[in-house]
Structure 1
Amino acid sequence: MALKYKHITIHLVTVLAVTLCLRCTDNFKKIQQVGVLQNEPVGVAKDINLKYTDSGMLTANLISKTMLDYSNREFGFSEFPDGIHLILYDKEQNKSTITSNYAIYYTETDVIDLRGNVKIATTQNDTLFTEQLFYYEKDEWVFTNQPFRLKSPSGDTYGNGLDSDVDFKRINILEMYDSEFELEGDN
């Protein structure tokens, strides 16, 4: 009889241990975040100067005073509360620059939300000014629904809403007003 109770006890302990182990693996992510507040960054970087390369060629250089890492959130992002200075290099190593007073980089979508005194200056001497701009890193595409000014060698364009590549070669303007530019062949 004592052997039967011992056998039942061993089975109960085994079932209990397996149950506890399975419950622990389901909550492993929650356990990892113990002590990390959901609204707090998991990391803070100061005076960053990140260089991105592709096949040994420098493609971008990101400079910022502060970066807050919120990768602990379900939709992770990095915040740049002091703004960014982003230098983009083409295949001939020509530079275009993007600056703003504030930025958020969404890792899952490769989109940077730039806000406050946003400026893009290209190697072709085109400069875009606006208060908010989204930069899709993968396709090097920019878009805004805000008022903007596009200064170029052929004149200035003012409008509301813009969708373009970063070199302003393929540009769509939603609403254009008060523009001054020269057409080819005009003297």
Structure 2
Amino acid sequence: MTKKISYYIFNIVTAFAVTMFFSCKNNFKEVQQIGVLQNEPIGVAENMNLKYTDSGRLKANLLSPKMLDFSNRGFSYNEFPDGVILNLYDELNKKSIIVADYAIVYNGTDLIDLRGNVRITTETKDTIFAQQLFYDQKRDWVFSNKPVKYVSPTKVVTGNAFDSNRDFTSYGISEVTSTVYLEEDTSQ
């Protein structure tokens, strides 16, 4: 009789162990995320000075007091909550400067989304103002579908969209809402 009870207990323990074995799943990625909150960055950098070169030539320089690294996300990105200064250099090493209060760099698309008091100052001292602007690093293209204001030494143009090459030598303002020509200073 005790042999029979031992046999039943052995079968029950075996069935339980097999059930537990087959119910386990490989959740290594979930284990890696323990302690990392879903909405928290995987890293934080301060006083960023990132330089982008191509064929040994400096093409861009991104400066920011703080960067949050969200490369742990499915669509990874870096966030610059305290603003950025983006210096763009042309073939002759002339510099255009883009300043924004906030920025996001989407790693998969190489697109930089600049927001809040965006200002571009070109080598020729032309200035573009916008609330949002995008810089496509792959295509070397700057664009916005939000209202913009372009100020040059001779005129002020406002419009509802803007696009330009990275050197700002070829640009366009769409849906122009106003153009004001400035008088030249003839007193010199």
Q: TM-score, normalised by structure 1?
A: 0.79
**Deviation at residue 31 of structure 1 after TM alignment:** 2.5
- Residue 39 of structure 1 aligns to a residue in which SS? coil
Give the aligned residue type for 2:87: I
Q: Which residue of 1 aligns with 2:126?
A: 126
**Deviation at residue 127 of structure 1 after TM alignment:** 1.2
Give the aligned residue type for 2:171: I
Cα distance in 2 for residues equivalent to 1:38 and 1:60: 32
Cα distance in 1 for residues equivalent to 2:147 and 2:52: 31
Q: TM-score, normalised by structure 2?
A: 0.79
Larger radius of gyration: 2
Identify which range, 112-121 or 170-179, moves more after superposition: 170-179
Identify which range, 160-169 or 109-118, moves more after superposition: 160-169
* Mapped pair 1:178 → 2:181: no
Q: Which residue of 1 aligns with 2:150?
A: 150
Cα distance in 2 for residues equivalent to 1:57 and 1:94: 12
Q: Which residue of 2 aligns with 1:57?
A: 57
Cα distance in 2 for residues equivalent to 1:142 and 1:59: 14
- Residue 82 of structure 1 aligns to a residue in which SS? coil
The aligned length equals 165
For structure 2, the 5+ residue unaligned runs are 1-13, 183-188
Q: Which residue of 2 aligns with 1:88?
A: 88
- Residue 116 of structure 1 aligns to a residue in which SS? strand
What do you get for the CA RMSD once the two structures are aligned? 2.2
Q: Which residue of 2 aligns with 1:75?
A: 75
Identify which range, 163-172 or 40-49, moves more after superposition: 163-172
